[in-house]
Structure 1
C-alpha cells in the first residue's frame, strides 16, 4: 500500500550513506577545491533531507556549497562545443542557472545574484515559434515541455506572472503527448505544474478561492510524487516555493482589493499532429493482484477524452486524474475510484460510451478493493 514510511526509511538511509561518503572524502566539514558529481549529489540530497528534518543550520550549510562552486558568470558560459547556442543547449544551461538561483535562495545569501541567475534562466529557456514547430515535427514533446516549465518557473521567481502563465499551462499537454509515445521519464516535471499554475493564478488574481487552490496545489504536487527518488528531488522545489512565496503559503486570507479586470487568459488548446500510438494499442485498467483479470479501457486518445469529459462535470477528482495516474505510472487506492464511479454512474446525463468505460473502471476497482490491492493503468502496444 502507498504510504510515507518507505520515504522516511529511504531518506534515513540516503542521509547515512551521504554523510559517511562525505566524511571519508574529507568534504563534510569543509568544501573541497575540486568536486566530483557524486559529492555534489550528496550535498544536494543532504541539504534537502536536513531541511525535511527542519535542521535549518545543517541544510543551509549544504546549500551554501552550491553558491561557491561553478556559479555562472554570464548568460552563456564559455564552451568549446559548436552547439553552445542551440536551443537545447541553452535550455540545459537555463535549468542549471535556475537550480543555482534556488540554491542561493535556500542558502539565504546574495539575492541579487539569485535574481540574475533567474533572469538568465528565463532567457535561455525561451523557445521561438520556429523552435516549437521543429520540436513538434520531430516529436520532441518532452523537450518543448521542459523549456516551458523552467522558463515559467524562472519568470515566477522574477514576479513576471503574466509571462509565466501560458508556458506553465502548456507543460502537461505536451508531456501527455510525450507519454503516448513511450515511458514517462519526466515525473517531477509533470508534477510541478500542480504547484506552479495555481500559484501563478493567485498572483494574477489574488482571490480567496485562488489562495486556497495555490495552497492545496503545492501539497498535491509533492503528494503526487510516489517514487522515493522523485520525491527527494521534488522536495527541493517544494521547499523553495514555500520559502520564496511564503506570503502566499502562510496567508490566511487574500488581500482586499478593488475589482480589477481578470488577468488570467484561458490557455490555448494544443492541436498536435496525430502520433502512431494515439489511436492504436490499448490502455488497460490493471488490478495489481497477480491473480486478477484486467479490463481494456480503450486507446490513449480515448482515455484523454474521457478525462476531459469527467473534468468538465466537476467534483470527480480521482477520475479527472486518470491521465496523470497513467502518465506518472502511479498506483491508485481503489476505494475513491469505487465511490466516484458509482456516483458518476448514478447520473442520468452521461453518454453510453462514458458509462461503459466507467463500468470497466468500477469492476477492476471493486475487485482490487476486495483483494486488498491497488489499481494502475498500463499501455499495451498493438499486436503486429
Structure 2
C-alpha cells in the first residue's frame, strides 16, 4: 500500500476562508503573557512583556478628554521618551527569543474584531481580495498582528506601507515582529534607497521594542539530528499514523505549483513529514517556497524526518550570504526544532 504524500494534495482556499483563518497558528493557542518566561539574564525580555501588556491595555481604553481619538492615537511623547501614543508596536529581536509568543499573547488579550497573520499571509490576502476590499475588511478591526514582517521587493514595500497607512488612519492598532528594525526593512534585498521615504513613513508609526537573547530552540542541541538512511525513513513513515512520505525533489516541484497561501491547508491533518533525498535547493525561487512550507509546519508543530543530506545543507552558502539570509536561517532554526521532536522516537 502506498504511503500518503504531500505532492498528492491540491488544496483550495476561498477568500472568506482566508479572512476567517487570520488567527494565531495552533501552536500558539494557549500562549499568554503569564506563561511567557523571561530569561533572567536578558532584562529586555521582561521589558518586552510589560510593553506588550501596556499596548494591549491601550487598545482596550477609550480615548479620553476632548481631543479627537485620532489625535490621541498619533500623539507623541510619553514616559521615558517613548511614543506611547503611536498606533504600532514593533518587536525586534533574533530567532527564538519569544517574539511570536508575545505577539500571539497580545492578540489573545484584545477583544474581537482582530486579525493575526504572517507577513506573507497578509500580502497573499491583499492579492486575493484586492487592496480596497482588504482595507474594507480589516479597517473595522481593533488589532492587526503581523508576524515576521518582511519587505522583499518594491511592490511589497508600497503595498504594505499604503495598507498600514489606511488601516492606522482608520483606527486599527498594529503589532508586528521581525528580525530587522522597521527603517532597515528591505536592505540587501532591493534598492531600498529608492523607497526610503515610504519605509521611514511606516517606521514612524511604530514604537520599537528590542528583545535580546539566544534562540531557545538551540540552547541544548544546536545541530539537527543526522539524516536517516532511506529504508529506515520509509519504515518510520509507514509506522507513524497520519504521516506523509515524499521525495524531496518532487515536493519542491509541487510547491512551485501550489500557492503558498495554501500550504497551511496542505499540512493541516499531517502528524509527521518524511522527506527522502534531501539536498541543497537549486535556486532562490524554490528556497523561498521551502521557507513558506517550513513556517506552516512550524505553526502546526508537525515534526520532520529526512534522509539524504542534513538539514543544515538545505540552503547553499551563496543563499545564506544574500538578502534573504534571515529568512533562510529562520527556516533552518524551525526545521531543526521540528526534527528534534522525532529524533528519539
Q: Which has the higher contact order (CA 8 A, sep 6+)?
A: 2
> Is TM-score (shorter-chain normalized) higher than 0.5?
no
Higher strand share: 2
Higher helix share: 1
Q: TM-score, normalised by structure 2?
A: 0.31
Which has the larger Rg?
Answer: 1
